[in-house]
Structure 1
Amino acid sequence: MTRKKTFLVFFLLLVAFSVALSMEQINEVSKTNTVVIDGENITYTVTAGLLPVADQNGKEMVRIFSVSYERLLEREDPSRPVTFAFNGGPGVAAMFLHFGAFGPRVADRSGDGAEIPAPPYSLVDNPYTLLDVTDLVFVDPVGTGYSEVADGIDPQRFWDVKEDVAVFAGFIQSYLDWSGRRRSPVYILGESYGGIRGSYLASYLQDFGIFPEGIIFISPVFDLGTIQWSSMDDTALALSIPTYTAAAWYHGKLPAYLMTDLQKAIDSSREWVEEEYIVSLWKGSELSEERKWATASKLSDFTGIDAEVLYKRGLRVNAVEFATLLLEEEGRSLSMYDARITAFGPYVGDSNDETMFALSGQLKTCANDYFKRELGYLTALPYRSGNAEVYLNWNWESGRPAPVSPDSLNTGYPDASKALAQAITRAPYFKVFVASGRFDLECPYESVAYSLNHLEIPQSLQKNITHKVYPGGHMIYFNPQ
């Protein structure tokens, strides 16, 4: 498919989901509340409901559930931004960002983020909500939250990289029209897989006549080839090692010379990976026995894993293996979402990942209580915080980069880097802020940095990108600081 044809297909996808059936939300509930931010009482209106999105013929396709927060002002302010927030998965509702980070009501947390909360659970006012500077809209993709498809429509149709983005673009246009916010500055906020969704979305909205001013990414992935749950390429493996070092340091498993200072240990790890480790991986079976043992010994220093184990595994330990091996003698495993947190037994997935299991339980409880008791959103359906069926049936094919020439194949991993670069290049005012967690094994911060450092954008626009690393995991906002 030529580049011109590819653009046309993507544009038509956007048009196909751009029409709202009406200017009213379905099952809408609204309430006024107040939150204190920096000593100031902020009064806001919260509105929850389903907004229909239709195809170009006006036929209803989906009803997207969202919760919006608008600050009540004495007079209309067209310069006040509106930020559209979503989580990742794919197949995850906006629950984590909504009740864990940026909503005016969040789950009660304490400590440094490495503590697992116990029932009973409750929501508290959030002094760190973004509501003082922007209105907020938390959006649940098809198959999550209370979002639904129209009768006779197969939901799996929308479980697709590009179809998903098209629905989001249609929803945003419909929301701006419904709420009378066409003049408002638009921002995007995405977490995890939200890196791919948000990058494509920013570029597509520009094609759509909606021009975001910026985007916030939390623990994102832009190129699935840079993270291990989709790739065991040398690059993906090497980019994980500094995160292994941080985790091993936290649990006291590094040699004494590396335990004195975390940042120095990480810097040494990164330098060694760049200069020696990646070279050893590159050589493969051509690597001499002496060099292989030397590499295994140094890799052991930076990961806390026994050198003989590393040697026998060909100098390769993926993130799940690392999560199991580091504390194996203590009978514990690390969380992939926050390597500071541990659980009993080997790592087997989200079911025994202490971070995901415990935090999901807390947030699900709070979300269902909030919607039904605090807001009075009446439905017999439970709030679907996550949907494994969506993830397992997701079509990644449409997210792969376009072939380099018309007669070549569309191969490789889904990668939204070009879309993000396009959004930045076309709008010099467009700003990107990226936050990563130092102990995140799912989307290691070096993988994020690698993608950002390889964006094909002019040097003069590099200043529009900010990447910060924080002392937390995948959901860094659970650290109070």
Structure 2
Amino acid sequence: MFSTHLKAVALSLAVVIAPSALAEVDQHNAAAHGRQIDIDSKVITEHKARINGERISYSAETGTQPVWNENGDAVATLHYTYYKRGGVDDDTKRPLLISFNGGPGSASVWMHLAYTGPKVLKIDDEGYPVQPYGVKENPYSVLDVADILYVNPVNTGYSRVLAGADGKLPSRDQQKDMFFGVNADIKYLAEWVNTFVSRHNRWRSPKFLIGESYGTTRVAGLALALQNSQWMYLNGVVLVSPTEIGIKREGPVEAANRLPYFAATAWYHKALDAELQALDLDELLPQVEDFTVNELIPAIAKGGFIGAEEKQRIVAQMARYAGVSPTYVENNNLDIPTSSFWKELLRSQGKTVGRLDSRYLGIDKRNAGDRPDYWAELTSWLHSFTPAINYYLREELNYKTDVKYNMFGSVHPWDRSNNNTGENLRLAMAQNPYLNVLVQAGYFDGATNYFDAKYTMWQLDPSGKMKERLSFKGYRSGHMMYLRRADLESSNNDLRDFIINALPAEGEAAKY
């Protein structure tokens, strides 16, 4: 397979590199007749695009780079795509944006082909699939201000665990210890990023991490791991649709924080009363947030000992904001499960709403029940993303392999213990006065809701000493807010501004 790959690349005038030190492993793979990815390879193609109103040239490098253990043995290989703007004489001032998606177990395809990259899916303006599948130019990509690296962790995309010298894969328990857990993931990725930065001579460049969903746990932890273990200091971390990053949101806070998301979703589907529905979302949500923090959290904290009059007042207001009946709220003891809400909101219309993006509608076998049969948004996304990434890598970036591209890979059971990534990010910020954080979230995301994201940002630095370096941006879409054309533009513009503003002025020292 390896010689076939070389032949194909040579014919296309691309570049492939495969160090001879890995030949023995490749020979074993060939002898075993396995379907294998090249362990250390790259293909470079040249492109042009109009981005942010400017015509630019860029190269796209896609390939694999090994993960080495402490003995220097290749134990896995990670597939990546690296975009570099052409005509840049001084990389020392050129930012590098390193991008991770989440899951855990999800490939980097989502932000790669729908958010920051130079090409995006062919979808309609609201994010729904259209045929023929494929990609088109992204006029809002941040490639004009930063080079971009998309990384697929182990078992996602084309990234894979490698057999040892004995020809056998590590056991599942060994793989878990090596790759599949909060801290194992951060440790090996920090080493991998170090190697990539060294190979591509980017040590002097300003560096940014961006992660989506579980990727926010990943980049929050990487900020300190890169700083303390690799001595690599960052200028910015971007948390897109963040998880809790180890910052607890339990009990009354967890239950109450859902209400602003419920209100946003009900508003979108025109399920509110006439007075609330007439408000713009920017007028409605501050009201709901104020009620959530100042009334709902204290009310839920009182549990079964809340006064009858107060309970009825809270029930009525919750029902009004969430677009559901007071009986439904009361039957849930003021604690409405999101899965139940997705089924309840439009039950009378025979529709369900999506989890990751509640703009999407589904239809179930029965109107009865307390959760949808399927996630309408996820099936829609896989509808358009899967053919696009397979086409794009093979036919436009000329990376050809028989290995399956894993949209979602086998990484479970994932070790979630000792998740201190939020505290790690706070400590990295404290140690590095250059480090800034941007939080981006969609109002209609029911999996990692926007108000939880705000709450996490508020709790990240309880002292308030670094709040000027923390910022939040919300969008009128869901988990992948960039799928909506208007938010693709605004989110990239916000990211572009963040990158530019996080660069220190000439001669500005990193000190307090």
Q: What is the TM-score normalised by the length of structure 2?
A: 0.81
SS at match of 1:101: coil
Report the more deviating stretch, 24-33 or 81-90. Answer: 24-33
Equivalent pair of 1:445/1:469 in contact (CA under 8 Å): yes
| 1:394 maps to amino acid | W
Residue of 127, 134, 145 corresponding to 2:146: 134
Q: Give the aligned partner of residue 412 of structure 1.
A: none
Who is 2:334 aligned against?
A: 315
- Distance 1:222-1:285 versus aligned 2 partners, 3 A rule: closer
Q: What amino acid maps onto 2:337 in structure 1?
A: N
CA distance in 2, matches of 1:459, 1:275: 20
3-state SS of the aligned residue for 1:221? Answer: coil
The corresponding residue for 1:354 is: 376
- Root mean square deviation of aligned Cα: 2.1
Q: From the superposition, tell whether residues 381 and 105 of structure 1 become closer, same or farther in structure 2 (CA, over 3 Å).
A: same
Distance across 2 between alignment mates of 1:218 and 1:428: 22
CA distance in 2, matches of 1:448, 1:38: 28
Share of identical aligned residues, percent?
Answer: 27
How do 1:91-240 and structure 2 match up within 5 A? Answer: 91-113=105-127, 116-151=128-163, 152-154=169-171, 155-157=175-177, 158-207=179-228, 208-223=230-245, 233-240=251-258
Distance 1:457 1:298 in 2: 30
SS in structure 2 at match of 1:352: coil
2:305 and 2:438 map into 1 onto residues whose CA distance is 42
- Give, in whole Å, the separation in 2 of the partners of 1:101 and 1:46: 16
Equivalent pairs, count:
437
Whole-Å Cα distance in 2 between the matches of residues 427 and 147 of structure 1? 32
Q: Which amino acid aligns with 1:153?
A: P
- Does the Cα contact within 8 Å between 2:91 and 2:204 map onto a contact in 1? no
41-50 vs 287-296, which deviates more? 287-296
Gaps spanning 5+ residues in structure 1: where?
Answer: 1-20, 402-415
SS in 1 for 2:399: coil
Displacement, 1:225?
A: 6.3
Instruction: Give 2:444's match in structure 1, choosing from 439, 452, 464.
Output: 439
- Structure 2 residues without counterparts, runs of 5 or longer: 1-20, 23-37, 164-168, 487-512
**Residue in structure 1 matched with residue 414 of structure 2 by the alignment:** 394
Q: Does 1:474 align with 2:502?
A: no
Deviations 1:314-357 (A, max 9, x none): 12211111111000111111111111221112699897222111
Decide whether the 8 Å contact of 2:234 with 2:434 is kept in 1.
no
Distance 1:25 1:268 in 2: 54
Amino acid at match of 1:357: T
Call closer, same or farther: CA 1:183–1:275 in 2, change over 3 Å: closer
| Alignment check: 8 A CA contact 1:350 1:356 kept | no
Q: Over residues 231-265 of structure 1, what are the superposed CA-to-partner deviations in whole Å (9 max), with x where a residue is unaligned?
A: 6x221111110110111111111122211212332
TM-score (norm 1): 0.86
Query: Which residue of the other structure, out of 420, 434, 453, is the alignment partner of 2:425?
Result: 420
CA distance 1:272–1:38, shift in 2 (3 Å): closer
Assess, with a 3 A threshold, how the Cα gap between structure 1 residues 171 and 49 changes in structure 2: closer, same or farther.
Answer: same
Paired residues of 1:27 and 1:377 also in contact (CA < 8 A): no
Q: Distance in 2 between matches of 1:427 and 1:65?
A: 30
Residues 226 and 235 in structure 1, CA contact (< 8 A), matched pair in contact too: no
| Residue among 326, 347, 352 paired with 2:345 | 326
Map of 1:38 onto structure 2: 52
The reply on whether 1:27 has 2:41 as its aligned counterpart is yes
Counterpart AA for 1:386? F
Post-superposition Cα deviations, 1:78-127, rounded to whole Å, max 9, x if no partner, equal 211111101111110110000011111110233244xx223321100111
